[in-house]
């Protein structure tokens, strides 16, 4: 039975268990529906079984050994990955400017961080790909790579996996910003079936609630022990059920069509705008720059004159993030703003 169906079931037992609100007492009435689904691991519900079946089904969709639903973001997936594949004192290679959870993971595991640097793509002011021959992998137990980057620069994960294999190192890919990749051929290849561990935030681009995410494992290490060290013993079943629903949507005809439409709208926008350059490897992250304007000026114009807020800006370019939920109307407003900006001398 799906988690959603399990939560919809009427329970006929009188529960003297947690949560004491008993799905009937609403401290916050606007979240009534959420309370109704907020159950615990009682015998009457037994949601653990439905959760484990849901994770099995989702793992089959992705083609992984294990996929786990995360209710504490990619942050928890990165920490669990490092805890799962290292031992105290091991060396872990990580990007110096990576998300803080990478270094926190290494510290929590009692490992030694070894940093690598990534040069900037000067034309865009954003960090480049992680290139295998730029990282010194000798003697490390695990390598953490961010792909895509915030701005949608994607590394060659197959090549990175090959050098990890040669050096007996685990490859952990932070694909927090690439959760849509497995669902469209028009997007970059996902690391999900290549890396030993891949972490994706559903909440960033894939329509998920904050802070839903997934941990995918392709090696023999079952991540449950590591996850149990950092997870609560009282997970939120409404949020877990939303993850199950999220994946079945992305994998459905409707979800794939929606994603395909999004890509088509952005392709059209790119075709219709001249005098503004588009960059990056991932079309859903609209990375733009305009001659004569710094990235910060472009961002400010969008914000002040057109009420449009971007996701990330640097001295040269600015990036507007799209995902499930970005509709044609919103993109047409952006196109209108970009057309006006494009004629500024």
For 14, residues 6+ apart whose C-beta sits below 8 A from its C-beta are none
Which lies closer to ligand PLP via its Cβ, residue 74 or residue 130? Answer: 74
Q: How far apart are CA 59 and CA 67, in angstroms?
A: 5
Q: How far apart are CA 180 and CA 203, in angstroms?
A: 11
Q: How far apart are CA 145 and CA 130, in angstroms?
A: 7
Q: Is 201 in the site for ligand PLP (CB under 6 A)?
A: yes
Which lies closer to ligand PLP via its Cβ, residue 148 or residue 279? Answer: 148
- Closest distance of CB 212 from ligand PLP, Å: 8
**Under the phi-then-psi rule, with left for phi > 0, alpha for psi from -120 to 50, and beta for the rest, what region is 64?**
beta
Binding string, 12-31, against ligand PLP, x = CB under 6 A?
A: --------------------
Q: Are strands 120-121 and 213-217 parallel, antiparallel or unpaired?
A: unpaired
> Of residues 51, 79, 101, 154, which one binds ligand PLP by CB under 6 A?
101
> Of residues 4, 54, 82, 213, which one binds ligand PLP by CB under 6 A?
213
Residues in the chain: 345
Which lies closer to ligand PLP via its Cβ, residue 95 or residue 183? Answer: 95
- Closest distance of CB 62 from ligand PLP, Å: 17
Q: Is 69 in the site for ligand PLP (CB under 6 A)?
A: no
The token duo for 142 is: 């695990």
- Closest distance of CB 202 from ligand PLP, Å: 8
Q: How far apart are CA 142 and CA 91, in angstroms?
A: 7
Q: Is 242 in the site for ligand PLP (CB under 6 A)?
A: no
Q: How far apart are CA 155 and CA 148, in angstroms?
A: 7
Which lies closer to ligand PLP via its Cβ, residue 149 or residue 299? Answer: 149
∠ at Cα 312 (195, 280), nearest 5°?
55
Q: How far apart are CA 100 and CA 97, in angstroms?
A: 8
- Closest distance of CB 63 from ligand PLP, Å: 22
Which lies closer to ligand PLP via its Cβ, residue 55 or residue 76? Answer: 76
Q: Are 323 and 206 in contact, with CB atoms under 8 Å apart?
A: yes
Any long-range contacts for 103-107 (C-beta under 8 Å, 24+ apart)?
104/75, 104/79, 105/78, 105/79, 105/81, 105/144, 106/82
Q: Is 95 in the site for ligand PLP (CB under 6 A)?
A: no
Q: Is 74 in the site for ligand PLP (CB under 6 A)?
A: yes
Phi, psi of 133 (to 5 degrees): -80, 5
Q: Are strands 277-279 and 126-127 parallel, antiparallel or unpaired?
A: unpaired
Binding string, 148-177, against ligand PLP, x = CB under 6 A?
A: --x-----------------------x-xx
Which lies closer to ligand PLP via its Cβ, residue 173 or residue 338? Answer: 173
Binding string, 109-148, against ligand PLP, x = CB under 6 A?
A: -------------------------------------x--
> Of residues 55, 81, 82, 99, which one binds ligand PLP by CB under 6 A?
99
Residues that bind ligand PLP in the complex, under the rule CB under 6 A: 73-75, 99, 101, 146, 150, 174, 176-177, 201, 211, 213
């Amino acid at each position: 039975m799906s988690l959603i169906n399990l939560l919809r079931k009427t329970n006929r037992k009188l529960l003297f268990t947690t949560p004491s609100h008993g799905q009937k007492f609403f401290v916050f009435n606007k979240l009534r529906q959420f309370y109704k689904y907020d159950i615990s691991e009682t015998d009457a519900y037994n949601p653990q079984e439905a959760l484990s079946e849901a994770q099995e089904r989702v793992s089959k969709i992705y083609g992984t050994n294990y996929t786990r639903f995360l209710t504490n973001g990619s942050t928890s997936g990165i920490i669990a990955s490092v805890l799962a594949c290292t031992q105290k004192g091991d060396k872990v290679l990580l990007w110096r400017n990576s998300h803080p959870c990478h270094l926190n993971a290494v510290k929590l595991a009692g490992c030694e961080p070894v940093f690598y640097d990534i040069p900037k793509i000067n034309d865009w002011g954003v960090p480049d790909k992680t290139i295998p021959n730029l990282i010194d992998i000798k003697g490390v137990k695990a390598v953490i790579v961010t792909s895509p980057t915030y701005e949608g620069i994607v590394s060659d994960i197959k090549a990175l996996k090959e050098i990890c294999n040669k050096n007996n190192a685990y490859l952990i890919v932070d694909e927090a910003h690439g959760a849509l990749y497995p669902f469209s051929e028009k997007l970059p290849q996902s690391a999900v079936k290549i890396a030993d561990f891949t972490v994706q935030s559903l909440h960033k681009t894939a329509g998920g609630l904050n802070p839903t995410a997934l941990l995918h494992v392709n090696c023999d290490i079952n991540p449950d022990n590591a996850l149990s060290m950092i997870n609560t013993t009282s997970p939120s079943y409404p949020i877990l059920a939303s993850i199950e629903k999220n994946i079945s949507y992305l994998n459905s005809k409707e979800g794939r069509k929606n994603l395909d439409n999004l890509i088509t709208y952005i392709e059209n926008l790119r075709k219709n705008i001249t005098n503004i350059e588009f960059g990056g490897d991932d079309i859903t992250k609209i990375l733009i720059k305009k001659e004569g304007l710094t990235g910060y000026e472009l961002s400010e114009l969008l914000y002040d004159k057109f009420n449009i807020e971007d996701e990330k800006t640097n001295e040269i370019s600015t990036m507007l993030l799209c995902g499930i939920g970005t509709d044609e109307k919103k993109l047409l407003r952006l196109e209108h703003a970009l057309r006006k900006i494009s004629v500024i001398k």
